[in-house]
Amino acid sequence: MFRRTVTRIINLREKQNKPFAAQNHHIAEEIILAVDSGYVTAYFPSIDGSVEVLLSDSAWRSAVAERDDIDIYENMRMDPSNISVLEITEEVVFDKRRSRMYINILTLTLVAPGYNRQVKTEENDLPIARFKYKELAEYFRKKYEESNQTRCLWYNPQNNRRHMCLTDAFELRLFSSRIVKISNPDDKFIHSYPELKGNVEAQLYKSREIEYELMEFEHNLWEF
């Protein structure tokens, strides 16, 4: 009955998102290990959000390599803590048969803010790679069970006896995020809207406005 595609940013440095990036349990480190071991496929993080162009082995090594203003050191792995942003693309779907809203995460992208040191621009964030969420979810579940619940976990700061699998944490929406794009005819991100360019406060307000509009739409469908 209803479907929209939404792109969100999860800042792992926010307090609510710290459990995804706990010491020795950083989600970026687990994803890097998943690619290195051949369980998960890495794709080029194109602007349109597609997962079509596979990263070659050399391209993957360069993507996760340490770097400075001049060189990329492929023999040195980037500290996973520098990958502090996750970009997720998801479908918001209202099923008229079940009369409820579903959210299906499609892709997840690793981003290292301010780490694209070879490009001298204001927005020098470094998108590492994009992944199909379904592959990651299966990998997280597999390693969580095989490791006796010591790998691929969401760290519970309130009760260390109740950590959970990263897959469950995503399904339960235990993260804080903000919308940066919703499907539109021009395929633009919020920061690219002409009336919002350069106004960070207005962009954040627009993100929250879209969030509330989706909630209100679901409520009205339930109500009427």
pLDDT for position 46: 86
pLDDT for position 69: 80
Average pLDDT over residues 104-121: 84
pLDDT for position 120: 56
Backbone angles phi, psi at 159, to 5 degrees: -155, 105
Domain total of the chain: 1
- Three-state SS at 138: helix
- pTM equals 0.91
pLDDT tops 70 at residue 121: no
Beta strands in the chain (DSSP E): 2-11, 21-22, 25-26, 65-67, 72-77, 85-95, 100-112, 126-132, 153-154, 164-165, 178-182
Q: Does residue 137 sit within a domain?
A: no
Q: How far apart are CA 224 and CA 212, in angstroms?
A: 18
pLDDT tops 70 at residue 122: no
12 pLDDT tier (thresholds 50, 70, 90): very high
Q: Does residue 138 sit within a domain?
A: no
Q: Does residue 119 sit within a domain?
A: yes
Q: Does residue 163 sit within a domain?
A: no
DSSP 141-189: HHHHHHTTS-SSEE--SS-TT--EEHHHHHHTT-S--EEEEE--TT---
Q: Does residue 22 sit within a domain?
A: yes
Report DSSP state, residue 25: E
- CA proximity to 178, closest of 1, 34, 14: 14
pLDDT tops 90 at residue 56: yes
Q: Which range of residues forms the domain containing residue 218? A: 2-132+175-223
pLDDT for position 131: 97
